[in-house]
Protein backbone atom coordinates (compact mmCIF):
# COMPACT_ATOMS: atom_id res chain seq x y z
CA UNK A 1 0.00 0.00 0.00
CA UNK A 2 2.83 2.39 0.79
CA UNK A 3 3.95 2.57 -2.85
CA UNK A 4 0.45 3.82 -3.72
CA UNK A 5 0.55 6.53 -1.08
CA UNK A 6 3.51 8.85 -1.47
CA UNK A 7 2.28 12.29 -0.41
CA UNK A 8 4.25 15.42 -1.18
CA UNK A 9 2.52 17.01 1.79
CA UNK A 10 1.31 15.31 4.97
CA UNK A 11 1.92 11.67 5.87
CA UNK A 12 0.87 8.17 4.93
CA UNK A 13 0.60 5.19 7.29
CA UNK A 14 -0.58 1.78 6.05
CA UNK A 15 -2.08 3.37 2.97
CA UNK A 16 -4.08 5.98 4.89
CA UNK A 17 -3.18 9.57 4.02
CA UNK A 18 -3.30 12.38 6.57
CA UNK A 19 -3.23 16.08 5.77
CA UNK A 20 -2.12 18.56 8.47
CA UNK A 21 -4.20 21.46 9.71
CA UNK A 22 -3.24 24.16 12.19
CA UNK A 23 -4.92 24.01 15.60
CA UNK A 24 -4.83 26.68 18.29
CA UNK A 25 -5.85 25.40 21.73
CA UNK A 26 -7.11 28.28 23.86
CA UNK A 27 -8.17 28.55 27.49
CA UNK A 28 -11.79 28.28 28.52
CA UNK A 29 -13.96 31.36 29.00
CA UNK A 30 -16.43 32.51 31.60
CA UNK A 31 -19.65 34.45 30.96
CA UNK A 32 -18.84 38.14 30.49
CA UNK A 33 -15.75 37.44 28.38
CA UNK A 34 -16.68 40.14 25.88
CA UNK A 35 -16.38 42.62 28.76
CA UNK A 36 -12.87 41.41 29.52
CA UNK A 37 -13.67 38.90 32.28
CA UNK A 38 -11.30 35.98 32.67
CA UNK A 39 -9.18 35.41 29.58
CA UNK A 40 -11.90 36.82 27.35
CA UNK A 41 -9.83 39.38 25.49
CA UNK A 42 -7.08 36.85 24.70
CA UNK A 43 -9.51 34.26 23.40
CA UNK A 44 -11.49 36.71 21.32
CA UNK A 45 -8.29 38.11 19.84
CA UNK A 46 -7.15 34.58 18.93
CA UNK A 47 -10.49 34.04 17.23
CA UNK A 48 -9.57 36.61 14.58
CA UNK A 49 -7.08 34.15 13.08
CA UNK A 50 -9.43 31.14 12.87
CA UNK A 51 -11.37 29.71 9.94
CA UNK A 52 -13.48 27.43 12.14
CA UNK A 53 -14.18 26.95 15.84
CA UNK A 54 -14.19 23.55 17.53
CA UNK A 55 -16.11 23.96 20.77
CA UNK A 56 -15.18 21.13 23.14
CA UNK A 57 -18.03 20.68 25.61
CA UNK A 58 -17.97 18.54 28.76
CA UNK A 59 -20.96 16.32 28.01
CA UNK A 60 -20.84 14.72 31.45
CA UNK A 61 -22.25 17.85 33.12
CA UNK A 62 -19.63 17.63 35.85
CA UNK A 63 -18.17 21.11 35.29
CA UNK A 64 -20.18 24.33 35.43
CA UNK A 65 -19.79 27.61 33.51
CA UNK A 66 -17.19 28.87 35.99
CA UNK A 67 -15.05 25.75 35.60
CA UNK A 68 -16.02 24.37 39.02
CA UNK A 69 -16.59 20.67 39.65
CA UNK A 70 -20.24 19.76 40.05
CA UNK A 71 -22.79 17.23 38.85
CA UNK A 72 -25.97 17.66 36.86
CA UNK A 73 -24.89 20.86 35.07
CA UNK A 74 -26.59 21.42 31.71
CA UNK A 75 -23.73 21.69 29.15
CA UNK A 76 -26.08 23.09 26.50
CA UNK A 77 -25.75 26.39 28.37
CA UNK A 78 -22.07 26.53 27.44
CA UNK A 79 -22.91 26.34 23.75
CA UNK A 80 -25.44 29.16 23.99
CA UNK A 81 -23.35 31.61 25.98
CA UNK A 82 -20.13 31.04 24.03
CA UNK A 83 -21.83 32.08 20.79
CA UNK A 84 -23.46 34.97 22.63
CA UNK A 85 -20.07 36.19 23.87
CA UNK A 86 -18.65 36.23 20.34
CA UNK A 87 -21.71 38.00 18.93
CA UNK A 88 -21.69 40.62 21.71
CA UNK A 89 -17.96 41.23 21.23
CA UNK A 90 -18.35 41.92 17.50
CA UNK A 91 -21.57 43.91 18.02
CA UNK A 92 -19.94 46.06 20.71
CA UNK A 93 -17.00 46.92 18.49
CA UNK A 94 -19.32 47.83 15.62
CA UNK A 95 -22.09 49.65 17.47
CA UNK A 96 -19.86 52.05 19.38
CA UNK A 97 -18.80 53.55 16.03
CA UNK A 98 -22.07 53.08 14.19
CA UNK A 99 -22.87 56.78 13.86
CA UNK A 100 -19.58 57.62 12.14
CA UNK A 101 -19.78 54.43 10.06
CA UNK A 102 -23.14 55.49 8.66
CA UNK A 103 -21.95 59.02 7.90
CA UNK A 104 -18.91 57.80 5.99
CA UNK A 105 -21.00 55.17 4.20
CA UNK A 106 -23.34 57.88 2.94
CA UNK A 107 -20.58 60.35 2.10
CA UNK A 108 -18.57 57.99 -0.11
CA UNK A 109 -21.67 56.24 -1.51
CA UNK A 110 -20.27 52.84 -0.59
CA UNK A 111 -22.10 49.55 -0.86
CA UNK A 112 -23.16 47.75 2.32
CA UNK A 113 -20.65 45.01 1.55
CA UNK A 114 -17.76 47.47 1.25
CA UNK A 115 -18.69 49.32 4.43
CA UNK A 116 -19.11 46.18 6.53
CA UNK A 117 -15.97 44.58 5.13
CA UNK A 118 -13.99 47.59 6.35
CA UNK A 119 -15.37 46.95 9.84
CA UNK A 120 -15.07 43.15 9.77
CA UNK A 121 -11.66 42.83 8.11
CA UNK A 122 -10.04 42.70 11.55
CA UNK A 123 -11.80 39.37 12.15
CA UNK A 124 -10.21 37.85 9.08
CA UNK A 125 -13.29 38.46 6.97
CA UNK A 126 -13.44 38.87 3.19
CA UNK A 127 -15.93 40.66 0.96
CA UNK A 128 -17.36 37.30 -0.11
CA UNK A 129 -18.08 36.37 3.53
CA UNK A 130 -19.90 39.67 4.05
CA UNK A 131 -21.79 39.28 0.77
CA UNK A 132 -22.97 35.78 1.73
CA UNK A 133 -24.10 37.10 5.10
CA UNK A 134 -26.23 39.84 3.57
CA UNK A 135 -27.60 37.54 0.87
CA UNK A 136 -28.87 35.12 3.50
CA UNK A 137 -30.61 37.91 5.41
CA UNK A 138 -32.05 39.53 2.26
CA UNK A 139 -32.15 42.97 3.91
CA UNK A 140 -33.80 45.53 1.61
CA UNK A 141 -33.26 48.69 3.69
CA UNK A 142 -30.16 50.80 2.95
CA UNK A 143 -27.43 50.53 5.57
CA UNK A 144 -27.79 54.12 6.77
CA UNK A 145 -31.37 53.34 7.93
CA UNK A 146 -30.60 50.12 9.77
CA UNK A 147 -31.97 49.86 13.29
CA UNK A 148 -30.04 48.30 16.15
CA UNK A 149 -32.18 45.19 15.72
CA UNK A 150 -31.03 44.91 12.10
CA UNK A 151 -27.40 45.34 13.15
CA UNK A 152 -27.93 42.56 15.69
CA UNK A 153 -29.20 40.26 12.93
CA UNK A 154 -26.27 41.12 10.67
CA UNK A 155 -23.68 40.50 13.39
CA UNK A 156 -25.27 37.17 14.38
CA UNK A 157 -25.39 36.01 10.75
CA UNK A 158 -21.81 37.19 10.14
CA UNK A 159 -20.61 35.27 13.20
CA UNK A 160 -22.14 32.05 11.90
CA UNK A 161 -20.74 32.63 8.41
CA UNK A 162 -17.22 33.61 9.47
CA UNK A 163 -16.79 31.20 12.38
CA UNK A 164 -18.59 27.93 11.58
CA UNK A 165 -18.57 25.89 14.78
CA UNK A 166 -18.30 22.16 15.33
CA UNK A 167 -19.47 21.02 18.75
CA UNK A 168 -17.30 18.25 20.18
CA UNK A 169 -19.26 16.60 22.99
CA UNK A 170 -16.41 15.14 25.00
CA UNK A 171 -16.45 12.57 27.83
CA UNK A 172 -19.07 10.29 26.24
CA UNK A 173 -17.42 7.55 28.31
CA UNK A 174 -19.09 9.12 31.39
CA UNK A 175 -22.33 7.56 32.60
CA UNK A 176 -24.14 10.94 32.65
CA UNK A 177 -23.14 11.96 29.13
CA UNK A 178 -25.71 10.15 26.99
CA UNK A 179 -28.72 12.15 28.20
CA UNK A 180 -26.90 15.43 27.54
CA UNK A 181 -25.76 14.17 24.15
CA UNK A 182 -29.33 13.43 23.08
CA UNK A 183 -30.57 16.81 24.32
CA UNK A 184 -27.88 18.83 22.58
CA UNK A 185 -28.23 16.88 19.33
CA UNK A 186 -31.91 17.88 19.24
CA UNK A 187 -31.15 21.53 20.01
CA UNK A 188 -28.28 21.98 17.55
CA UNK A 189 -27.70 21.05 13.93
CA UNK A 190 -26.87 17.33 14.32
CA UNK A 191 -24.48 17.60 11.38
CA UNK A 192 -22.29 19.89 13.50
CA UNK A 193 -22.30 17.78 16.68
CA UNK A 194 -19.73 15.03 17.21
CA UNK A 195 -19.69 12.69 20.20
CA UNK A 196 -16.14 11.98 21.31
CA UNK A 197 -13.91 10.68 24.08
CA UNK A 198 -10.44 12.20 24.17
CA UNK A 199 -9.64 9.96 27.14
CA UNK A 200 -10.34 6.80 25.13
CA UNK A 201 -8.44 8.08 22.09
CA UNK A 202 -5.39 8.91 24.19
CA UNK A 203 -5.43 5.49 25.84
CA UNK A 204 -5.80 3.58 22.56
CA UNK A 205 -3.04 5.55 20.84
CA UNK A 206 -0.75 4.97 23.82
CA UNK A 207 -1.43 1.22 23.81
CA UNK A 208 -0.88 1.03 20.06
CA UNK A 209 2.39 2.96 20.26
CA UNK A 210 3.66 0.63 22.99
CA UNK A 211 2.81 -2.42 20.88
CA UNK A 212 -0.11 -3.83 22.90
CA UNK A 213 -2.87 -3.33 20.33
CA UNK A 214 -3.44 -2.63 16.65
CA UNK A 215 -5.66 0.43 16.39
CA UNK A 216 -6.99 2.16 13.28
CA UNK A 217 -7.59 5.79 14.28
CA UNK A 218 -11.01 7.14 13.44
CA UNK A 219 -12.62 3.68 13.38
CA UNK A 220 -14.00 1.10 15.81
CA UNK A 221 -11.27 -1.40 14.98
CA UNK A 222 -9.01 -2.44 17.84
CA UNK A 223 -7.18 -5.78 17.81
CA UNK A 224 -5.35 -7.34 20.74
CA UNK A 225 -2.90 -10.22 20.62
CA UNK A 226 -5.69 -12.59 21.64
CA UNK A 227 -7.98 -11.28 18.88
CA UNK A 228 -5.37 -11.90 16.19
CA UNK A 229 -4.54 -15.38 17.49
CA UNK A 230 -8.25 -16.21 17.42
CA UNK A 231 -8.34 -14.99 13.81
CA UNK A 232 -5.63 -17.46 12.84
CA UNK A 233 -2.39 -15.56 13.42
CA UNK A 234 -0.35 -17.77 15.78
CA UNK A 235 2.07 -14.92 16.52
CA UNK A 236 -0.74 -12.54 17.45
CA UNK A 237 0.62 -9.93 15.05
CA UNK A 238 3.70 -9.60 17.22
CA UNK A 239 1.68 -7.69 19.82
CA UNK A 240 2.48 -7.78 23.54
CA UNK A 241 0.22 -9.47 26.07
CA UNK A 242 -2.13 -7.13 27.92
CA UNK A 243 -2.60 -7.28 31.67
CA UNK A 244 -6.12 -7.77 33.05
CA UNK A 245 -6.64 -4.12 33.89
CA UNK A 246 -5.88 -2.91 30.37
CA UNK A 247 -7.91 -5.74 28.85
CA UNK A 248 -10.90 -4.61 30.91
CA UNK A 249 -10.39 -0.99 29.84
CA UNK A 250 -10.30 -1.93 26.16
CA UNK A 251 -13.46 -4.01 26.50
CA UNK A 252 -15.17 -1.12 28.29
CA UNK A 253 -14.23 1.30 25.52
CA UNK A 254 -15.35 -1.15 22.87
CA UNK A 255 -18.78 -1.55 24.47
CA UNK A 256 -19.41 2.04 25.60
CA UNK A 257 -17.78 3.99 22.77
CA UNK A 258 -16.41 2.17 19.74
CA UNK A 259 -19.33 -0.16 19.04
CA UNK A 260 -21.95 2.43 20.03
CA UNK A 261 -20.56 5.45 18.20
CA UNK A 262 -18.27 3.87 15.60
CA UNK A 263 -15.11 5.57 16.89
CA UNK A 264 -13.79 7.76 19.69
CA UNK A 265 -14.89 10.74 17.59
CA UNK A 266 -11.58 12.62 17.77
CA UNK A 267 -10.65 12.16 14.10
CA UNK A 268 -14.26 12.87 13.13
CA UNK A 269 -14.19 16.24 14.92
CA UNK A 270 -11.26 17.42 12.81
CA UNK A 271 -12.76 15.98 9.63
CA UNK A 272 -16.07 17.70 10.34
CA UNK A 273 -14.31 21.05 10.84
CA UNK A 274 -12.62 20.66 7.45
CA UNK A 275 -15.95 19.64 5.94
CA UNK A 276 -17.85 22.72 7.12
CA UNK A 277 -15.17 24.83 5.45
CA UNK A 278 -15.67 22.94 2.20
CA UNK A 279 -12.12 21.59 2.37
CA UNK A 280 -12.54 18.08 0.99
CA UNK A 281 -9.16 16.63 -0.06
CA UNK A 282 -8.91 14.90 -3.43
CA UNK A 283 -5.59 13.35 -4.36
CA UNK A 284 -5.25 12.61 -8.11
CA UNK A 285 -2.26 14.32 -9.68
CA UNK A 286 -1.35 17.97 -9.36
CA UNK A 287 -4.93 19.07 -8.64
CA UNK A 288 -4.99 16.83 -5.61
CA UNK A 289 -1.75 18.36 -4.40
CA UNK A 290 -3.18 21.86 -4.74
CA UNK A 291 -6.29 20.79 -2.82
CA UNK A 292 -4.09 19.43 -0.03
CA UNK A 293 -2.26 22.73 0.20
CA UNK A 294 -5.57 24.55 0.60
CA UNK A 295 -6.65 22.18 3.34
CA UNK A 296 -3.33 22.51 5.13
CA UNK A 297 -3.76 26.27 5.30
CA UNK A 298 -6.99 26.07 7.30
CA UNK A 299 -6.69 27.36 10.86
CA UNK A 300 -9.04 26.13 13.56
CA UNK A 301 -9.54 27.33 17.11
CA UNK A 302 -9.70 24.36 19.49
CA UNK A 303 -11.74 25.74 22.35
CA UNK A 304 -12.58 24.01 25.63
CA UNK A 305 -15.48 25.36 27.63
CA UNK A 306 -13.67 24.91 30.91
The whole-number pLDDT of residue 40 equals 55
Domains of the chain and CATH, by start: 20-196+265-289+299-304 (1.10.8.470), 200-261 (no CATH)
| DSSP code, position 131 | H
The whole-number pLDDT of residue 15 equals 61
The whole-number pLDDT of residue 6 equals 60
The whole-number pLDDT of residue 9 equals 55
The whole-number pLDDT of residue 293 equals 39
The whole-number pLDDT of residue 285 equals 45
Strand 299-304 and strand 193-195: pairing?
Answer: unpaired
pTM over 0.75: yes
Average pLDDT along the chain, 306 residues, taken 10 residues at a time: 54 65 69 58 72 89 81 89 87 94 96 96 92 96 96 96 92 91 92 94 96 94 96 95 96 95 93 81 44 43 51
The whole-number pLDDT of residue 70 equals 86
- Report the run of H or E that residue 13 belongs to, with start and end: strand 11-13
Buried-state track 35-50, b at ≥16 Cβ within 10 A, e below 16: eeebebeebbebbeeb
Answer for the pair 117, 124: CB distance below 8 angstroms, yes or no: no
Beta bridge partners of 303: 26, 55
SS (H, E, C) 52-97: EEEEEEECCCCECCCCCECCCCCCHHHHHHHHHHHHHHHHHHHHCC
Strand 165-170 and strand 193-195: pairing?
Answer: parallel
The whole-number pLDDT of residue 228 equals 96
Answer for the pair 265, 194: CB distance below 8 angstroms, yes or no: yes
Amino acid sequence: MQDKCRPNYGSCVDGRRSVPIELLDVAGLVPGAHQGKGLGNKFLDDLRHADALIHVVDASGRTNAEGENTRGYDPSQDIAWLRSEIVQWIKGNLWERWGSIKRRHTAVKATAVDTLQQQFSGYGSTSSVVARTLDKLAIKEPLETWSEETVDRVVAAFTDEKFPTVIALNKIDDSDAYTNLMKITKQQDPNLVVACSAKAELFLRKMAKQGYIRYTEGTEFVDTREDLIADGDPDGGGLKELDEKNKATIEEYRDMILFRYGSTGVVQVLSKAAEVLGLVPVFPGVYGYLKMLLLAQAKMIFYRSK
